[in-house]
Amino acid sequence: MVRTAVTRRRPLCSVHPDDKERLNEILNDFKSSARAVQPAAHRLKPRTPIVIASSIRGFSCWLYEQKKQGIVVRPHDRSLDEDAELYRSTRKRKRITGHLAYLRNFMLGTSAPELSRPRLAAYPDDETLIQKAVAAAKADIVNGTPWQGFRTPPDINRVASRLRGFSEWLKTHAKSAIAGRLDDPSLQEDRETYLRVKDSSRAAT
What confidence tens digit (pLDDT) does each residue in 55-112 have? 999 999 999 999 999 998 888 777 888 898 899 888 888 888 888 888 877 776 544 4
Closest C-alpha among 58, 53, 110 to residue 84: 58
Closest C-alpha among 104, 87, 105, 107 to residue 95: 87
Is the model more confident about 203 or about 132? 132
* pLDDT, tens digit (0-9, with 9 covering 90-100), for 2-42: 444 444 444 467 888 988 878 888 888 888 887 777 666 66
For residue 9, the model assigns a pLDDT of 45
* pLDDT, tens digit (0-9, with 9 covering 90-100), for 113-149: 543 344 457 888 998 999 999 999 999 999 999 998 8
Query: What is the distance between the alpha carbons of residues 177 and 186, in angstroms, rounded to a whole number?
Result: 11
**DSSP string across 85-147:** HHHHHHHT-TTHHHHHHHHHHHHHTSS---TT-------HHHHHHHHHHHHHHHHHHHTT-PP
For residue 38, the model assigns a pLDDT of 61
The dihedral built from the CA positions of residue 114, 151, 74 and 31, taken in this order, carries a sign that is: negative
The SS3 call for residue 6 is coil
Give the start-to-end residue ranges of the domains of the chain.
Answer: 13-119, 121-205
For residue 157, the model assigns a pLDDT of 85
The SS3 call for residue 70 is coil
Query: What is the distance between the alpha carbons of residues 42 and 46, in angstroms, rounded to a whole number?
Result: 12
Q: In Å, what is the CA distance from 8 to each residue of 12, 15, 49, 89, 143? A: 12, 21, 28, 27, 58
This prediction has a pTM of: 0.50
- pLDDT of 153 > 90? The answer is no
Region 161-176: mean pLDDT is: 86
Closest C-alpha among 68, 69, 131, 76 to residue 104: 76
